[in-house]
A and B are shown apart, each in its own frame.
Chain A
Amino acid sequence: MSEKVVQDKSELIKLESAKDLRRTMDDYFARLKEAAETRCRKIAWCTSVGPAELLYSMGFEVYFPENHGAMLGAGKNADKYIPSAVAHGYSPDICSYLTSDIGAFLQNETPLQKSGFSSVPRPDILVYNTNQCKEVEDWFSFYARYFKVPIVGIHTPLSISDVNPEIIKNVSAQYYRIIPELEKAAERKFDIDSFMETVGLSHDGCVLWKQVLQKARNHPSPINFFDSAIHMGPIVVMRGTSYAVEYYKILLAELEQRIEQNIGAVPRERFRIYWEGMPLWYKLSNLAKLFARLDTCIVASTYCNSWVFDDLDPADPFESSALAYSKLFIVRSDEVKENVLERLLQEFTIHGIIYHESKTCTRNSNNRFGMQNRLFKRTSIPYLEINGDLNDPRCYSEEQSIIAIETFIDQLSGQVK
């Protein structure tokens, strides 16, 4: 055994709500499984920031392939599946959620099999929004061809500076336009009251999720990025349901209690970091431990903040949906993004920023067009860039990244009092 003279390590403290999260997610998958097996309810596949409210309001069970992609990544299996998709003509340079998900499908494997699924739940319709990227359309098109089911989508303008009335009109019109196809697949009529109620629930869930994330403004923060990346599950897959609302009430209460008791997610929090970019799903636990050992808490992230749709308004469900889903960080201009980041850096008292340049996800790699330099000029907050990928571990050099992260924290220690 190595003898290290200074070997004082910080331990992570797990959230008690994790068991409620588990139950909430298990119940979600049980509902999906029942629908898949008995066809008692129709199943829609939806992109993670797609029109989930519309789908839940029409009685669909909603399955999110991106959530499945993250499960493949977190299960450290993506690199087993990606080659199958590549062999079928999908480039290893495109979204590794897509390639790992399609690869797993081609190999007839899914982590859902552990929960008794025979395969991923067969869709009755596929619904996307290109606000996050164009690749989701290509991804869903694969399954539309395979299952021979309809695919409908909302095409959101890119690099939006001002979410103006023209954009709202354009996007809300697309919401209206997909309804007839959804009605056919749902075998029921669209009901405005149900949609308003779902949008209301989505709003409430998002507000609670925002409150959860904002608890990290406290010193020490009661929650870190690695917790949030897991606990965001319900706001991604159950947005627009009471299940998400109920879960975030539980989580919020625990965080409030932690703040009262001065319990930090990282017990000896000294450095507060902002994470820009996707998580490295296959290294969540390793990175969580590394940062805890360095007395560093990642208190805020673009990724987790991306599911705050608090502009949703049940009184105006179509236009507020268009507003909320076009106001999303990823679809905004660099100027708007920089303003958002600058505000978050102040709000969360950030000492340093880590940009994760994800090899297969350009839209979530904001350091590719010089933003890191511009933001540094504006804020003087030091930053570190690490190279990796959301799902493909072959793109990540762990040893080199550890050295870089340790050095970055060392660098900050000379500046943070």
Chain B
Amino acid sequence: MYRLGVDLGSSYTKGVLVDENNRIIALHCVKSGYNFNNASMKIISYFAEKYKIEYPVYTCGYGREQIKTPFISNSELIALSKAVYEIYKCSCSIIDIGGQDTKFISVNSLGQVDKFKMNRKCAAGTGSFLEEIAFRLDVTPAEFTNLAKEATQEVKINSFCTVFAISEIIGMIKNGATLPNIIIGIYNSIILRSIELSLVEDRLVITGGLPAMHPTIVTLFKKRYPYSDSPEYSQFLAAYGCILLNSVKKIDSPHPLNPSPKREEEFPLL
């Protein structure tokens, strides 16, 4: 029997399957769409083809109670903190950049949440901000990352508002700014919005769908905070943390998300 954690986020639903030793066996991710239950059923069906799932499943995220199978819901912030602490075993600050939310979490040396803060009711600085700009510029996420590598200088995107950021970008293009330089500006704009949530005073762990999909953001974070890191597949950590929160078992691996021979590798990229 395998236990399942599901993070039903505003943009994507992420599933993590673990064995009896809390070792990750498989990961899967689908778009949340408008029906959280459908999204979670896709996750369950995907895993159920090969594995026998133990119920209840452990959920978090916006759709945490919108699932029609037995579940135990959790706070995504507490779950994420739990998983990060299991990896790093020390106090740290987490910046998680998801579809609609950007979160700052301060985790103490006991692995407890000391403080947290979420973004205001504004898309700037979240995944939706970037998605909207990418859509308007007609650039895919993969192209975004590749273009960023060609940047020669950083341009400043000043706008707080997604729509006006696009107007600002159009103005820059008119004035001859290159797309790679603009992309770096967009990444930096997201970073600035996230670091204003709180002071980062210790190790910084960057998680969420956005840094996973745009690794240049992690590189830019590291320039500001040398003592920072982003674990692989960090967008799955909250789902994994849900299982850990409801488990008494210890994890034997120091980094449970390190690729293992048993892991399903073919989960779709965000």
* Complex interface bits, A1-26 against B, C-beta within 8 A gives 1, otherwise 0: 11111100000000000000000000
Are B78 and A411 closer than 8 Å at their CB atoms? yes
Is A385 touching B117 in the complex (CB atoms < 8 A)? yes
- Can you name 14 A-B residue pairings with CB atoms under 8 Å? A2-B67, A3-B70, A4-B72, A5-B56, A382-B114, A387-B120, A396-B121, A400-B100, A400-B118, A403-B76, A404-B116, A410-B78, A411-B113, A411-B116
- Report which residue of A384, A395, A414 has the largest number of chain B beta carbons within 10 angstroms of its beta carbon: A414
Pick the contact of A407 from B68, B116, B121 — CB < 8 Å? B116
* Chain A residues within an 8 Å CB radius of B114: 382, 411
* Extra inter-chain contacts (17) besides given A2-B67, A3-B70, A410-B78, CB under 8 Å: A2-B68, A3-B68, A4-B73, A385-B117, A387-B120, A387-B121, A396-B121, A400-B101, A400-B118, A400-B121, A403-B75, A404-B118, A407-B75, A407-B78, A411-B116, A414-B113, A415-B112
How many residues from A make CB contacts under 8 Å with B? 25
Residue A108 interfacial (CB < 8 Å): no
Measured CA separation A415–B73 after assembly (Å): 21
Which one of B70, B71, B115, B121 contacts A395 once the chains associate, using CB atoms below 8 Å?
B121
Q: Determine the residue in chain B with the shortest Cβ distance to A357.
A: B120
- Asked whether any CB of chain B lies closer than 8 Å to the CB of A34, the reply is no
Whether A382 pairs with B75 at a CB distance below 8 angstroms is no
Q: Are A397 and B113 in contact (CB under 8 A)?
A: no
Known: A2-B65, A395-B121, A400-B101. A407 touches B115 (CB 8 A): no
What are the 5 tightest A-B residue pairs by CB atom distance, in nearest-first order?
A407-B75, A397-B121, A407-B77, A411-B113, A414-B112
**Interchain nearest-CB distance for A8 vs B (Å):** 12
| B233: A residues at CB distance < 8 A | none
Give Cα A213 to B72, complex, Å: 37
The count of A-to-B residue pairs whose CB atoms sit within 8 angstroms is: 61
Query: Taking the complex as formed, is B62 at the interface, i.e. its CB lies under 8 A from any CB of chain A?
Result: yes
Asked whether A406 is an interface residue with its Cβ less than 8 Å from the other chain, the reply is yes
Which residue on chain B has the smallest CB distance to residue A405?
B75
Rounded to whole Å, the gap between the CB of B212 and the closest CB of chain A is 21
Q: Which residues 105-150 in B have Cβ within 8 Å of A in the complex? A: 112-118, 120-121
Which residues on A are within 8 Å of B, measured CB to CB? Answer: 1-6, 382-385, 387, 395-397, 399-400, 403-404, 406-408, 410-411, 414-415
B69 at the interface (CB under 8 A from A): yes
Whole-angstrom distance between the Cβ of A96 and the nearest chain B Cβ: 15
Contacting A at CB under 8 A, from B170-226, are: none
Q: B11 in the interface, Cβ–Cβ < 8 Å?
A: no
A126–B66 CA distance with the chains assembled, in angstroms = 51
A342 smallest CB distance to B (angstroms): 19
Contact of A399 among B62, B67, B116, B117 (CB under 8 A): B62
Q: Shortest CB–CB separation between residue A412 and chain B, in angstroms?
A: 10
**Chain A CB within 10 Å — which of B62, B114, B116, B118 has the most?**
B118
Q: Which residue of A lies closest to B63 (CB)?
A: A399
Q: Are B115 and A3 in contact (CB under 8 A)?
A: no
Q: Which residues of B contact A5 (CB under 8 A)?
A: 56, 70-72
* A414–B77 CA distance with the chains assembled, in angstroms: 14
Query: Looking at chain B, what size class is its interface with the partner chain?
Result: 20 to 34
Q: Which residues of A contact B70 (CB under 8 A)?
A: 3-5
Return chain B residues, CB-CB under 8 Å to A383: 115
Do B71 and A2 touch (CB < 8 A)?
A: yes
Which residues of the partner chain B approach A3 to less than 8 Å between Cβ atoms? 68-71
Chain B residue numbers with a CB within 8 Å of A407 are: 75-78, 113, 116
Check B65–A403 contact: CB distance below 8 A.
no
Q: Please give, as numbers and ranges, the residues of chain A lying within 8 Å of B72 by CB-CB distance.
A: 4-6
Query: Is the beta-carbon distance between A382 and B78 smaller than 8 angstroms?
Result: no
B112 nearest CB neighbor, chain A only: A414
Least CB separation from B111: chain A residue: A414
Q: CA separation between A3 and B73, bound complex, in Å? A: 11
User: Which secondary structure characterizes the binding site on chain A?
Assistant: mixed
Binary interface profile of B, 34-63, with partner A (CB < 8 Å = 1, else 0)?
000000000000000000000010000010
Tell me the complex Cα distance, A382–B113, Å. Answer: 10
Give Cα A410–Cα B117 distance, bound, in whole angstroms: 14
B-chain residues with CB within 8 Å of residue A384 when the two chains form the complex: 116
Nearest-neighbour CB distance to chain A for B6, whole angstroms, equals 13
> How many Å lie between the Cα of A84 and that of B70 in the bound state?
48
Q: How far is the CA of A411 from the CA of B112 in the complex (A)?
A: 7
Taking CB atoms, residues of chain B closer than 8 Å to A410 are 75, 78, 113
Least CB distance from A399 to B in Å reads 6
Please tell me which one of the listed residues A2, A396, A408, A414 contacts residue B66 in the complex, with CB atoms under 8 A apart: A2
Which of A382, A385, A399, A407 has the most chain B CB atoms closer than 10 A to its own CB? A407
Taken residue by residue from 72 to 114, chain B's Cβ proximity to chain A (1 for < 8 Å, 0 otherwise) reads as 1101111000000000000000000000110000000000111
Residues of A within 8 A of B56 (CB): 5
Q: Which chain A residue lies CB-closest to B10?
A: A399
- Which of B100, B112, B121 neighbours the largest number of chain A CB atoms within 10 Å of its CB? B121
CA distance A385 to B67 in the complex (A): 29
For the complex, what is the distance from the CA of A62 to the CA of B56, rounded to whole Å? 59
Least CB distance from A2 to B in Å reads: 6
User: Residue on B with the closest CB to A411?
Assistant: B113
Contacts of A2 in B (CB 8 A): 65-68, 71
Q: How far is the CA of A411 from the CA of B71 in the complex (A)?
A: 21
Expressed in whole angstroms, the Cα–Cα distance for A1 and B67 within the complex equals 9
A6 to B70, CA, bound (A): 10
What's the minimum C-beta distance from B148 to chain A, rounded to whole angstroms? 29
How near does chain A come to B116, taking the closest CB pair, in angstroms?
Answer: 6
Q: With the chains together, A65 CA to B56 CA distance in Å?
A: 52
Chain B residues with CB below 8 A from A397, complex form:
121
Q: Is there an interface contact between A403 and B62, defined as CB atoms closer than 8 Å?
A: yes
Distance in angstroms between the alpha carbons of A4 and B71 in the assembled complex: 5
What's the minimum C-beta distance from B43 to chain A, rounded to whole angstroms? 16
Nearest B residue to A382 via CB reads B115
> Chain A's nearest CB lies how many Å from the CB of B11?
14
Q: How far is the CB of A408 from chain B (nearest CB, A)?
A: 8
Q: Which residues of A contact B100 (CB under 8 A)?
A: 400
Chain A: which residue is nearest B76 at the CB level?
A: A403
Bound Cα distance from A396 to B118, whole angstroms? 13
Q: Which residues of B contact A399 (CB under 8 A)?
A: 62
Cα-based distance from A384 to B113 in the complex (angstroms):
12
Chain B residues, Cβ within 8 Å of A403: 62, 75-77, 118
Q: How far is the CB of A319 from chain B (nearest CB, A)?
A: 44
